[in-house]
Amino acid sequence: MPSRTLALTALGALTLLVAAPAQAHRDDEPVTAILETPALWSEDDADADDPAIWIDPDDPADSLVITTAKEAGLYVYDLQGNELQHVAPRPAPGEDDAPGRYNNVDLIEDFKLDGERVDLAVASDRGMDDLGIFKIEDGRLVDVTSESAGTIFTQSQEEINGEHTAYGLTTFQNRSGSYALVSRNSETEVALLKLKAEGDKVTWKKVRTLELPASFELPDGTEWTTCDDPGQYAQVEGMVVDEHSGTAYLGQELVGIWKISADLKGEPELVDTAVEFGIPGAYNPETDQCDYGPDPGYGGDVLRTDIEGLTVYSTGRGTGYLLASSQGDNTYAVYSLRGANAYLGSFSIANGPVDATQHSDGADVVNIPLPGYPGGLLVVQDGDNTPEGTDESSTNFKYLAWQDVATNLDLRSNCSRR
């Protein structure tokens, strides 16, 4: 198991891996969302978190946006943002246990199941420490999770109740099969799972795990770790795999973005660090907050914690863009997929046909032309949605045309077909 301490001075190459920020081009027209999904309210235990865009191979107009709402389960929307289906979370196994809590969701295409090829929606279940796996059939989600699959990180219900359970998730496919990367809440651990058919159900097998560093030796010789409640470490949530290169990008929320082979072999490399990286902090039990010291200046210039949703827009043959939600300043950073992942600029989502986006968690983008989105569709979570006519905050998802983002930052678009 790799050391939980990373010596930046020993790496030496950190300054080479982290590209100097480019001057972000900004078009005269701000980036705005075209439409949004209905508001989700905390009083209903509904908290929008992560989207996945499913393309209907027969009719792109019937494509779906599949989303997580934590304790409220899953919501499925059409391309107009209308709710088509709600999947309730799984009930708590006992009176003192937590119910299901779907945190992140992603897709698998053409999975062989019970003699047919199907597309799957795969969600991490923080409340159960496992996955929820759904076949997409006639525009609806059908649960095909094997009851015998077991948990991912824990060994008992008591451990599950400690909440160091399945958290972030992304999926990918290669010649050897279909896989999910799943991170662990309050830990630096990421697990590689192989998805397998079991009759008409889907199960998984843990292949290996990776532990990212929990502490770092800074250039001045001091050791730094993120400040959090005792026993909690800088977890990963936002993750994405560039299938062309087989590279996984992992967003460690208070640290930065790592890249590593999607099979979790080799040593992880930092693409960029959070602005707050290296700032000393001590947990204060009286205030339940961290007291911070002066900034020593070891962090990056772009990402403000938390680092959240990661997604990839491909322009073909290993080229394209990595998008990262910089939750601390309500922006989205864009990096090149090639080489050292040069920073290309940032954008925010302003008020327009619908309200602006703040504190964004998950995001997903596709490069396939869809009705109303000829260059592709970008869907992001809005963590501070403000519906017209009310001052009460809620959460939901915003739909954007990729072409608007590309124009704003002078990026390429690629119209491909499945």
SS3 per-residue string spanning the chain: CCCCEEEHHHHCCHHHHCCCCCCCCCCCCCEECCEECCCECHHHCCCCCCEEEECCCCCHHHCEEEEECECCCEEEECCCCCEEEEECCCCCCCCCCCCCCEEEEEEEEEEEECCEEEEEEEEEECCCCEEEEEEEECCEEEECECCCCCCCCCCCHHHHHCCCCEEEEEEEEECCEEEEEEEECCCCEEEEEEEEEECCEEEEEEEEEEECCCEEECCCCCEEECCCCCCCCCCEEEEEEECCCCEEEEEECCCEEEEEECCCCCCCEEEEEECCCCCCEEEECCCCEEEECCCCCCCCCCECCCEEEEEEEEEECCEEEEEEEEHHHCEEEEEECCCCCCEEEEECEECCCCCCCCCCCCEEEECCCECCECCCEEEEEEEEECCCCCCCCEEEEEEEEHHHHHHHHCCCCCCCCC
Q: How far apart are CA 383 and CA 379, in angstroms?
A: 13
Q: How far apart are CA 379 and CA 397, in angstroms?
A: 7
Reported as a pLDDT band with limits 50, 70 and 90, residue 11 is very low
Enumerate the domain spans of the chain.
5-409
CATH class held by domain 5-409:
mainly beta
User: In the numeric block, which tokens belong to residue 294?
Assistant: 């002066």
Q: How far apart are CA 349 and CA 292, in angstroms?
A: 30
The rounded Cα 223 to chain-centroid distance in angstroms is 28
Q: What angle do CA 408, 418, 104 make, to 5 degrees?
A: 70
| Per-residue pLDDT tens digits for 306-365 | 999 999 999 988 899 999 999 999 999 999 999 999 999 999 999 999 999 999 999 999
The answer, yes or no, to whether residue 382 has pLDDT greater than 60, is: yes
Phi and psi of 397, rounded to 5°?
-125, 140
Record the pTM. 0.93
| Per-residue pLDDT tens digits for 193-204 | 999 999 999 999
Residue 235 and residue 187 in contact, taking contact as beta carbons nearer than 8 Å? yes
Q: Is the peptide bond before 361 cis (omega within 30 degrees of 0)?
A: no
| Per-residue pLDDT tens digits for 144-203 | 999 999 999 999 999 999 999 999 999 999 999 999 999 999 999 999 999 999 999 999
**Predicted local confidence at residue 173, as pLDDT:** 98
User: In the numeric block, which tokens belong to residue 267?
Assistant: 């040593």
| Per-residue pLDDT tens digits for 50-105 | 999 999 999 999 999 999 999 999 999 999 999 999 999 999 999 999 999 999 99
User: In the numeric block, which tokens belong to residue 261?
Assistant: 């082979």
User: In the numeric block, which tokens belong to residue 160?
Assistant: 């599950």
Reported as a pLDDT band with limits 50, 70 and 90, residue 141 is very high
Query: For all residues of the chain together, what is the average pLDDT?
Result: 91
Mean pLDDT of 229-239: 92
Q: What's the residue count for the chain?
A: 418
Q: How far apart are CA 37 and CA 50, in angstroms?
A: 13
